[in-house]
Amino acid sequence: MWTSRLLLLLGALTWSPYLAHTWTPCTDLLPLDLLSRVLPPSTAATLTQVRMVQSRGSRGFQLAAAAATSLSFPASQIFTNCETFPREFSIVVTLKIKQLAERRSEYIFSLVQEEDDRLLLGLRVSEERVNFLVGAGGRRLSFRGIRLADDHWHTLVLAVSGHYATLTIDCSLPLDLVLDQPVLSSFSTRRSRFYVGSRRRWKDRFSGLLRQLVLLPGSDATPRLCPASKPRLAELSVPEVLVTTPLLSDQQPSVFTYEAEVRVTQGGVPPCSPGGEGQLWFNTLRRNLQICDGHTWTPLLQRPQRLDYVEDYQDVLTSSETFDVEVFSIPGEGLFMAAANRDIHPGSGVFQWVDGRFQLYQNISTQEARAWKHFTLEGQVSSTSTTST
């Protein structure tokens, strides 16, 4: 009885005309995966335009090879009910940046007014900053002292609400910016487009790997992500292809070099320490490629060492055609060589190493001997010949 009454009450609340008319959001209030929306539909296209790269055990997209305009979609795709950008929202980004040049900044995404190319919103990273650009009024919110370009995965949650902009990196302590006026004033997304990894230009494009880019309208995504077991890779919504493609084992770094970023260092010995697994180094002196296993450099695809010449040292004359030689040593006696010879007389020969040369030590009667093998019997070395019959 209790259950049905409760259901009735819930039903009444949901259908109440009062609630339905208070506020209609312009978008779904669900996580909106912006990254999936710009990915080519088939995997074949993914390979040519957008490269899927596995790095440090996780996959992301390398976008820099694709035309900026191809990685975009009209805002109307997600602003389906009306056109106003929410004043409360959060953006979740998982990225990995190897390095950023000094004074260089790269766009993670932008929202651009198509007609006059006006920037409405933009999220940018530079060597020591994360900048959130708000077009209306040309405001720039700077989170300083943040070094994301350390070749590790990081997950950022930027939450905007009223006068507050909060940045949480890898689920650690949030950085708050408190402004004297609301971060966003209402603006229309009419005729605007989202650009992933750029600001609609070649310049300032995102050069790193992008694994997640999600807009969550209406609320702060941080409590949905944090705490996380892997805070650097905390997930709200990641493109399916990144999750469903099986990961290659990190224990076999040489296997996935065809698709992982190949960092080949030349010259002197670079450091090889934990975290540097899979790094490659071309040893110019030895002319071989070395791979770091986290501790030491190991040669990869090395050509076996070969003697490039053999000096004629001694001619050992055997009494007839020799099919096999066996070298063995007898403790206390020295080094010997047995030659398996064709003729019966005087048969095969055993030579001893004396004064740096092999000298005939003994004739052993054999017939058509083909091979010699030596063996040890209770500490004594003997040798035996096999003969064809």
Closest Cα partner for 277 from 248, 251, 246? 251
Q: Name the segment binding ligand NAG (CB under 6 A); options: 91-99, 233-241, 325-333, 355-363.
A: 355-363
363 binding ligand NAG? (CB under 6 A): yes
Cβ distance to ligand NAG smaller for residue 36 or 319: 319
Residue 360 as a binder of ligand NAG (CB under 6 A): the answer is: yes
Distance in Å, CB of 281 to ligand NAG, minimum: 57
Phi (first) and psi of residue 35, to 5 degrees: -65, -45
Q: Is 201 exposed, middle or buried (0-12, 13-18, 19+ CB in 10 A)?
A: middle
The least CB distance from residue 360 to ligand NAG, in Å, is 5
Q: Tell me how far CA of residue 86 lies from CA of 189, 222, 332, 348, in angstroms.
A: 10, 17, 93, 97
With CB under 6 A as the contact rule, which of the stretches 14-22, 108-116, 196-204, 359-367 interacts with ligand NAG?
Answer: 359-367
Q: Does 362 bind ligand NAG (CB under 6 A)?
A: yes
**Size of the residue set binding ligand NAG (CB under 6 A):** 5
- The one-character DSSP state at 26 is S
Closest to ligand NAG by CB, 217 vs 347, is 347
- Rule CB under 6 A: is residue 316 a binding residue for ligand NAG? no
Tell whether residue 174 is a contact of ligand NAG (CB under 6 A): no
Stretch that binds ligand NAG, among 94-102, 140-148, 272-280, 357-365 (CB under 6 A): 357-365
Q: Name the residue nearer to ligand NAG (CB basis): 118 or 345.
A: 345
Cα–Cα distances in angstroms (integers) from residue 219 to residues 113, 154, 155, 197, in the given order = 24, 21, 17, 23
Contact predicate 256/277, CB 8 Å: no
Q: Is the Cβ of residue 241 or residue 360 nearer to ligand NAG in the bound state?
A: 360
Long-range Cβ contacts of 280-284 (<8 Å, 24+ apart): none
Whether the CB-CB separation of 149 and 128 falls below 8 Å is answered with no
Binding site for ligand NAG (CB under 6 A): 319, 346, 360, 362-363
